[in-house]
Structure 1
Amino acid sequence: MWASPSLLRLHFVLARSVLAPTREELAQRIDRLTETRHEAVDTAASQLRRIERDLHDGAQARLVAMGMNLGTIEALVEKDPAQAKKMLAMARASSAEALTELRDLVRGIHPPVLAERGLGDAVKALALRLPVASEVTVELSGRAEAPVESAAYFAVSEALTNTVKHAGADRLWVDLHHSEGMLRMSVTDNGRGGAAIGTGSGLSGIERRLGTFDGVLAVSSPAGGPTMVTMEIPCALS
């Protein structure tokens, strides 16, 4: 009994020395968290500026023009009904275009299919719109949290966009699965290869997006292809 407290303290000291991270590891972790936090803030600010710009240059301009047309129509409805009818048709077309732009803007912020049906179906819908033959495999037993799903969706979307633009591929494969507490996504194509993570590249943007959630990106792309972009995000499914 007299020796038990000393033995326990010795046990804790030994366990801490073996299991606890070193000061260097903690410092690296803090630096990484600081970096990803700044990147998340910069990304959010950039997206907000894009939304504001799209609203100002697109839907807002159309709605202002439609309001002016309606004022003119009000003045012409009795004097020149034929001209008023033409301008009503123009206003109707302008409202339809503004609605389409608003829908596209909302889809860019958070696709409705992602909120309603989850990551797997959202990626399948995304692949159907590609000009390249694609095959999507999904093995997910549940859904991740909404921010994780959104990050994963846009990471896959950007990887597919890069493939279509730069790979010169005529076929691609997308795989989504979850195991050992990790959401894993891969995009593979039979293109020319040579992709690499670098400053200003789309892959760097994906890496920053994943880093906000402690995710990682790996690229295998030898000259001549094929190219495989693998993304991982630690998360739980519910």
Structure 2
Amino acid sequence: MTGTADTEAFEFSSIYKLDTVVVPTNRPMIRKDLPDLVYMTEAEKIQAIIEDIKERTAKGQPVLVGTISIEKSELVSNELTKAGIKHNVLNAKFHANEAAIVAQAGYPAAVTIATNMAGRGTDIVLGGSWQAEVAALENPTVEQIEKIKADWQVRHDAVLEAGGLHIIGTERHESRRIDNQLRGRSGRQGDAGSSRFYLSMEDALMRIFASDRVSGMMR
């Protein structure tokens, strides 16, 4: 079972002779998938992403930035650092910290950069993981656990009010399934959420498929 098999239904049928069945979601999906934004240069695109992050975090919305490679994640991280935006990076270089980073990714105004393969199969809990906080304590008391749960509920409600987890894709992947997996990190179990992909004419995929005519129109 997977959340993104439907886009590959033809391959499953023709190659493996397997049918693909779409199972209805447990709750209505209310995530807002916003239209792509396209820029001429990568620098302009990155600047637009930084501005989006600033706007989202200003109202307490957590942001997950998805990149296609470690190099791209480090590029975005460097620009966020220049802009004075606190963030965490989740990629193969920081694999040992994956659980801790994912546990914090849903905190109000948290910013997390991740490659498409990083953190897969792990839910980002809005408001953060109260279980992780409890696990960090040595012999926690019932009172401590109840206090942590109460604090989490306040954060959870605040994040929902702000719009839920916002997903930013820094470019399109050649496989639509990978893009859908990134978007699917938000809006789980009927929670609020949003997503948007940012593209530039300098992206590898755009250089392959976008004609010079498109670039001319944008100029």
TM-score by length of structure 2 reads 0.23
Of the two structures, which has the highest relative contact order with CA contacts closer than 8 Å and spacing of 6 or more?
2
Give the TM-score, by structure 1 length: 0.21
Rg (Cα) greater in structure: 1
